[in-house]
Structure 1
Amino acid sequence: MSTTPSLRELGAPAIAILAIASALTVANVYFNQALLPAVARDFGVSQGDASSIATLSQLGYALGIVLVVPLGDRSEPRSLVRILLIGVAAALAAASFAPQLAILAGLSVIICMGTCVPQIVLPLAVGLTRPERRGRVIACVQMGLVLGILLSRTLAGIGANSLGWRPIYAIAAGLMAVSAIILPIVLPRRGTAATTISYPRLLGSLWGLLRREPALRLSCLLGSALFAAFSAFWTTVPFHLGRPPFGLDLAGIGYFALWGGIGGLASLFAGGLIDRFGQDRVSAGAILLAAVSLGLVAVDSGDYVALVVGANLLSFALSAGQIANQARIFALAAEARSRLNTVYMAFTFAGGAVGSAGASILWGSYGWPGVCGFALVCIAAAAAAFARAWFSAGRAGRDQCAV
């Protein structure tokens, strides 16, 4: 009888390939943010119109998480990943020839729906790894996600400054084609599906989890609000940096994305903070840190160093908050871990789409102060949701003691 191979048996090189593939695929959601000024000039549209690319990318990723990721419980992961990556490669190649903004926007939705591959690979890695090695494997794959988000804007900005924005899409298409060949080879073959329920029932169970689990609802609210503020900042900061007193070109904007995103790498330490202080305290700290970072970039909006510091603080706040939220939901039901993550990530990236859309609208009318104010409102919503849950939990504890 054959046995299903585990990630441990695959060895460190194969795990590294999973991390690299995660970085390359998640980059498809973010690299377009550094290209928005060039896209606006090429199509002769406003910067606000061009930023719809970032908004629809976030929305497409959220749709992919909801509609595609649950299939990982009932489909062979290697075949599913191969089909997705081939489709993404074709859509990216078509985007490099897009004749107008509307077509590029539509293709962005398709690209990012198929880019949900890391959210299929990560639960698979968790389920096939021995408990004593699970943390290191998850950390490796998550680091790939952080590096993909961090480097995609920088490399795209630098490349577009020399080549233009269209070749960046073509290069991304080639990387996805290579990933479609390599990644399925290193993924383990699963003999039997985790569930045999129908696709409609699989999707229907997502709503049931959200309805039954208050901790899941809290994590969804916190994750979506924090990511809305994060997306509002990163969608419009290229426009802010392109204006006086900065006047940066695409390469300069790409370098800012690198310097401003290094704080996200500190997410490796968030797990230790959660073990020591608990996820609720880390969530509270992430909300406070995000508010401080946005206040800094709002007050010193013309200071490059202040923008870099604020961007790093915001990046770390988002990473720490997300890890705390996932620690909260993964403690609910091990048998539903993938679907819990599906619900959480869908809300998170839908929040990112709202943040990008809101910031785009406010940028056109109120500029950078309007964007910062909107992002702070998102953080205030997260603080209100957390406070309500905290007081409710305290009241329930007091009532139980009284009984």
Structure 2
Amino acid sequence: MDFLKVTPSSSGVKSNLGPWTLFLFAATCGASVANVYYAQPLLGSMAADFGLDTADIGIVVTLTQIGYAAGLLLIVPLADIANRRRLVITQTMLLSAAAAAVGLAPSTFMLLVAMIALGLLSVVVQVVVALTASLTGPEERGRAVGLVTSGVVIGILAARLWAGLLADLGGWRTVYLASGMLMLIMSMLLAKTLPREKPSGSKEGYVAILRSVPLLFLRYPLLRARAVLAFLIFASFSTLWTAMVLPLSASPYLMSHTAIGLFGLAGVAGALAASGAGRLADRGLAQPVTGASLALLAISWAAILCLPASLPVFLLGVVALDFAVQAVHVTNQTLILAARPEARSRLVGGYMVFYSAGSALGAITSTMIYAYAGWPGVCALGCSFSVMALVFWWITRPMPRA
């Protein structure tokens, strides 16, 4: 079976990805990014296994996120000068080893070291997204990036459910051992699928490309604007998905982690529905798509506020929120990846730093607000992030495309 479909393009780009390759890329992204989120429902079991206090085990999540942020800044830009085929395969194989190391960790120290490595190597996701953009012509780029990015969102949302199910069957270590095996399989499939690359021809050194990342964002207003939107929409996204476990695990629902993880399926539905936003961006409709999606994001919080009075209405709000966030995220990446083709990995890495910062802000503030103002306070916080994003987009909308 041919995994890489080669077709002529009006833009002169000869290589367009076939559906099986896009599916493999999306699956790789989903499986990779899930490693960053597996620990969230497993912290209690991990604390008991290592004899740690529940408050102390939270360092596991923090170190994983620190490793991920470091990877965005130190590894992803490397793809602009390195052989991306070799980089993707190597990262995926090392990620397999890191996941296995977490599952086999004999001590707290080894666990924490392995979690840092796990976060560091999970940024293979961003290299795959940039590679997808490079292997597709301009008329197909938004659609392809949208499909692959859907795998990222699905991986984030499904990680909690998958981790809960496997942990119920074989303990928390089973989750990471299974992930290690899955990433090993992915690396072998990618080795057979990824096309051979010619040298990039870039004369830039590693230090030079690291220095160029902030300069690119200072030079191009579009990059700054879309990075700010990413910060705000993922702050809203994280506000919901971090805090929702608190009311759902309390009376009257008293749901388990596995049951709460099922809500991720509603988010997956929204994310999949929004994958077509890239096609609209390809047609020059990025600004209308962004505005409409941000408006929907703000409105979705009215439905989310109905928890615990009406669970069905709450679910509609969850679907709407994930649809809106994914639509803006895909549109952002489509525009950013078109700005500087020779610097796509740097642009994606820099952009995702804002994504990580927004996610961290939403996670920290949502739990604090819930302690003082309950679920209505959380909804007010999430809606505030959404409205700020909508207002910011309205102010900056006359900005040129590139």
Aligned partner (choices 51, 60, 67) of residue 74 of structure 2: 67
Paired with 2:102 and 2:181, the residues of 1 have a C-alpha distance of 13
Paired with 2:292 and 2:112, the residues of 1 have a C-alpha distance of 36
Aligned partner (choices 299, 322, 328) of residue 335 of structure 2: 328
Tell me if the contact between 2:306 and 2:314 (Cα under 8 Å) persists in the aligned partners.
Answer: no
Deviation at 1:36, TM superposition (A): 4.5
Counterpart of 1:23? 30
- Is 1:154–2:161 an aligned residue pair? yes
Paired with 1:20 and 1:12, the residues of 2 have a C-alpha distance of 12
Deviation at 1:64, TM superposition (A): 1.6
Counterpart of 1:259? 266
Tell me if the contact between 1:85 and 1:180 (Cα under 8 Å) persists in the aligned partners.
Answer: yes
Aligned partner (choices 150, 163, 172) of residue 170 of structure 2: 163
Structure 1 residues without counterparts, runs of 5 or longer: 397-403
Counterpart of 2:12? none
Counterpart of 1:281? 288
Deviation at 1:140, TM superposition (A): 4.0
Counterpart of 1:145? 152
Aligned partner (choices 358, 376, 381) of residue 388 of structure 2: 381
Structure 2 residues without counterparts, runs of 5 or longer: 7-14
Aligned partner (choices 259, 263, 275) of residue 268 of structure 1: 275
If each structure's helix is expressed as a fraction of its own residues, which one has the higher value? 1
Paired with 1:128 and 1:193, the residues of 2 have a C-alpha distance of 14
RMSD: 3.1
Q: 1:358-385 CA deviation, whole Å, 9 max, x = no partner?
A: 2344445554344333323322332342
- Is 1:79–2:98 an aligned residue pair? no
Identical pairs, percent: 34
Paired with 2:265 and 2:359, the residues of 1 have a C-alpha distance of 20
Counterpart of 1:211? 218
Q: 1:92-150 CA deviation, whole Å, 9 max, x = no partner?
A: 22322457878656543321221111211222232233556555544442343343234
Paired with 2:379 and 2:59, the residues of 1 have a C-alpha distance of 19
Q: 1:287 to 1:149 in 2, by over 3 A?
A: same
TM-score between both structures, scaled by the size of structure 2: 0.84
Q: 1:289 to 1:16 in 2, by over 3 A?
A: closer
Aligned partner (choices 237, 242, 247) of residue 244 of structure 2: 237
What code does the residue aligned with 1:243 have? A
Deviation at 1:183, TM superposition (A): 1.8
Q: 1:383 to 1:11 in 2, by over 3 A?
A: closer
TM-score between both structures, scaled by the size of structure 1: 0.84
Counterpart of 1:399? none
- Is 1:109–2:112 an aligned residue pair? no
- Is 1:343–2:350 an aligned residue pair? yes
Paired with 2:377 and 2:325, the residues of 1 have a C-alpha distance of 21
- Secondary structure class of the residue paired with 1:357: helix
Q: 1:271 to 1:87 in 2, by over 3 A?
A: closer
Paired with 2:367 and 2:114, the residues of 1 have a C-alpha distance of 20
